[in-house]
Amino acid sequence: MKKTLVVFAHPYLEHSNSNAELINFYVRHQHFTLRDLYEEYPNFHIAAFRERKRIKNYERFIFQFPLIWFGMPPLLKLWIDEVFDRDWLKEGNYNPLEGKEVYILVTTGGKERSFHRNGTYKFTVEELISGLIVSLSVFNADIKNIKIVYEANKLSKKEIILHKQEFSELLNQ
């Protein structure tokens, strides 16, 4: 199994049963390292050098977060801004994201039909998180899957378990 870093960012985890359940999956498996950005950096002071050093040790990455006001949580955006290093793109430099598998798991309280051109919000979730997708693409990461869990705040325990199983199967392919 690939050594996997989970970059998790949820500013209101205590109010999210679905995210709390979904991250329990990582805690129970030793090849996953869960990094809760809001737990680790409550003051928003990112230790960028330490984070850059850390990500070099992983073969695969998972970015898990809720959609907050139609985008990534602010701490995740800051983490990307400070940790991703343009020097990685220079010829001859090591790029720790190049060719690495990346999975993105986004939760939202909205209905799936709301996130379409003709829906309530006029944009897809992928369009709303395009900053992350483009950043990963620039660094030549291999985005394997973007899983979106709609109406996450209304899921039953059984539905959450089904989402965990589906995501686990994606990771094991």
Measured CA to CA in angstroms, residue 133 lies from 16, 54, 128, 158, 162 at distances of 24, 21, 10, 30, 26
Residue with tokens 């390292």: 33
Quote the pTM value. Answer: 0.92
Q: Give the pLDDT of residue 154.
A: 85
Q: How far does Cα 153 stand from its chain's mean position?
A: 18
Q: Give the pLDDT of residue 75.
A: 96
Task: Give the chain's mean pLDDT.
Answer: 89
What pLDDT, in 10s, does the model give residues 126-166?
999 999 999 999 999 999 999 999 988 888 888 887 877 88
What pLDDT, in 10s, does the model give residues 37-88?
999 999 999 999 999 999 999 999 999 999 998 999 999 999 999 999 999 9
CATH superfamily membership of 4-172: Flavodoxin domain (3.40.50.360)
Euclidean distance between CA atoms 95 and 93, whole angstroms: 6
Q: Give the pLDDT of residue 171.
A: 74
Euclidean distance between CA atoms 149 and 155, whole angstroms: 9
Measured CA to CA in angstroms, residue 96 lies from 4, 52, 85 at distances of 13, 8, 10
Q: Give 52's Cβ-side CA count (13 Å radius).
A: 13
Statement: residue 103 has pLDDT above 70: yes
